[in-house]
Amino acid sequence: MPSYVYEVVHEDGTAGERFEIEQRMSDPPLETHPETGQRVRRVYLPPHIGAGRWSDRAMTKSSSDDKKLERLGFTKYVKASDGKYEKVVGKGPDLLKK
């Protein structure tokens, strides 16, 4: 059963506390808080997408794969201890200076 988020609606129209409740998709939305009887409205939140092709973890993994970067036509430089950037893969100058 899916969980839905509701928030209490104060008399002046401002939002109050939020709570989650499990309901069937076929159930009508709540109009009152199940314990206090206060007026409530359903809160629509954006979906949470924690993985996939564009997640932080996937992007870090793909940008650290030197062979893949070179195959895709990218050039990767790494900062050296003296403040210069040395080429690791790809086309371009071997060293970048400030």
Model confidence over 75-93: pLDDT tens digits?
988 888 788 888 989 888 8
CA 96/CA 81 separation, integer angstroms: 13
What is the predicted pLDDT for the residue at 11? 93
pTM, 2 dp:
0.49
What is the predicted pLDDT for the residue at 61? 64
Give me the sheet containing 76-79, strands edge to edge.
76-79, 85-89, 95-96
Q: Which residue has the higher pLDDT, 1 or 58?
A: 1
What is the predicted pLDDT for the residue at 63? 61
What is the predicted pLDDT for the residue at 66? 86
pLDDT tier, 97 (very low <50, low <70, confident <90, very high otherwise): confident
Q: Do residues 69 and 76 make contact, with C-beta atoms less than 8 angstroms apart?
A: yes
